[in-house]
Amino acid sequence: AKRNPGQSEFIQAVQEVAEDIFEFIADKERYHEAQILRRIAEPDRIISFRVCWEDDNGNVRVQRGWRVQNNNSIGPYKGGIRFHPSVTESVLKFLAFEQTFKNALTGLPMGGAKGGANFNPKGKSDREVMRFCQSFMTELYRHVGADVDVPAGDIGVGAREIGYMFGQYKRITNQFTGVLTGKGLEYGGSLIRTEATGYGAVYFLANMLKTKDDDLRGKIAVVSGSGNVATHAAEKLTHLGASVVTLSDSGGFIHDPDGINLEKLRWIKQLKNVRRGRISEYVEEFKGATYHEAKSPWNVPCDVALPCATQNELSSEDAQSLVKNGCIAISEGANMPTELKGVHVFKKAKVLFAPGKAANAGGVAVSGLEMSQNSARISWKEEQLQQLLVDIMDGIHKQCLEYGQMGGGYCDYVRGANIAGFKKVADAMLAFGVV
């Protein structure tokens, strides 16, 4: 904490990992001697820069942009870009740290990074977003590259923003390379990238239930968020026979006891991606649903829960309420949505709990596959990619089981994911010596 004053999110993320790693390395001198955990928790570099742009009224606006390159021991830096007013260096450091472990778990050669800006795309015109993205890339381009650092989307950065940034990169460098992932299909994007994070989080959930001879059929699911991850998690839950009864945004949550079916989900995607509206509008369109302003959905009784909005959206009280209402499994679609005390509640109750770094790795995994397709200048078929996503999520689940077994049939997936991810990166770092 002394080294990183005021960086509460970053300290929280490191603490969560350190709890497990200290135990794991207690009898392994080589990791101690080389100070591996300390080295992973000190980013390779942090680039911070001014992003200056002009709004539609001709006012000059100034934002701060960052790229945190945490670790490239097992592959080029890789991680999303977030545009949201809550973005700070601490948030991006925590995300880049987590990304390092997550990317290792996918089994693909990718290091960990994260970037973004304290820019709020909400209420901005397309032109304003374009000018901001171009200005952001005008600085970022010198720090990234297909073999150096490959950013992707995250909160506030979807297909539109990636398009503007890729266009600007190409314009400045005169190179058409796989420098970003999450690209449009017309210019080097991969099939199923959009769906991959949400689908993957549900595959992971199904894998956990399978260990208890259970599945998703007939389960009531509570989901938060209504962006890329949330809507696709809801879609896959519905495919597998669960009934999704909630979704949310930063204004509040909607509860639809009849279930948010595929047709309603299509309407929500249109609302969020095209009209850029609020989730509260849902109750005007679909009767029987209710809107709960400034509340999160964790008090709604359910069998499974998927926090898919943002960090620290699920407190220890929320965790207690989920457990009390009989929730048997939680899969984190978002990054670190559960507060550390909430994680402890789930562990104590011994419910199935999948941390984001394992459960939401499907997105970056397909981003890794997008990089492979770009390097080879080919596009793989949808069925092939769908199968690869299933296989990768299976592989991550197996690694968690390998390192997370606590006896009595209980698997601590947080511990499993932390140790498996750490081991791969740490062993690569040991091979490089003191660097």
Q: Which residues bind ligand NDP (CB under 6 A)?
A: 86, 153-156, 197, 225-230, 249-251, 308-310, 313, 333-335, 360, 363
Query: Ramachandran region of residue 198, left (φ > 0), alpha (ψ -120 to 50) or beta?
Result: alpha
For the question of residue 212 being annotated catalytic, the response is no
Q: Bridge-partner residues for 81, per DSSP? A: 115
Q: Provide the 3-class DSSP secondary structure of residue 10.
A: helix
As measured in angstroms, the least distance from the Cβ of 433 to ligand NDP is 32
Known binding residue 197? Answer is yes
CA separation for the pair 368, 349 (Å, rounded): 35
270 known ligand binder: no
Kindly state the smallest distance separating residue 353's Cβ from ligand NDP, in Å. 17
> Residue 338: which residues within 8 A CB-CB, separation 6 or more?
307, 312, 314, 319, 330, 332, 346
Residue 55 CB neighbours (<10 A): 14
211 is in an annotated binding site: no
Ligand-binding site membership of 212 (annotated): no
Q: CB of residue 162 vs ligand NDP: minimum separation in angstroms?
A: 11
**Given 2, 28, 93, 114, the catalytic residue:** 114
Given the complex with ligand NDP, which of 83 and 346 has the nearer CB atom?
83
6 is in an annotated binding site: no
Q: Is 335 assigned a ligand-binding role in the annotation?
A: no
CB of 333 to ligand NDP, least distance (A): 6
Q: Minimum CB separation from ligand NDP for residue 309, in Å?
A: 3
Distance between CA atoms of residues 145 and 127, nearest Å? 26
SS3 string of 142-176? HHCECCCEEEECECCECHHHHHHHHHHHHHHHCCC
Beta bridge partner(s), residue 382: none
H helix intervals, 240-332? 262-269, 282-285, 316-324
Reading the block at residue 393, the tokens are 């999520």
Q: Which is nearer to ligand NDP, 335 or 373 (CB)?
A: 335
Sign of CA dihedral 105, 236, 354, 90: positive
Q: Which residue ranges are tagged as binding site?
A: 78, 99, 102, 153, 197, 228, 367
Q: Which residue ranges are tagged as binding site for substrate?
A: 78, 99, 102, 153, 367
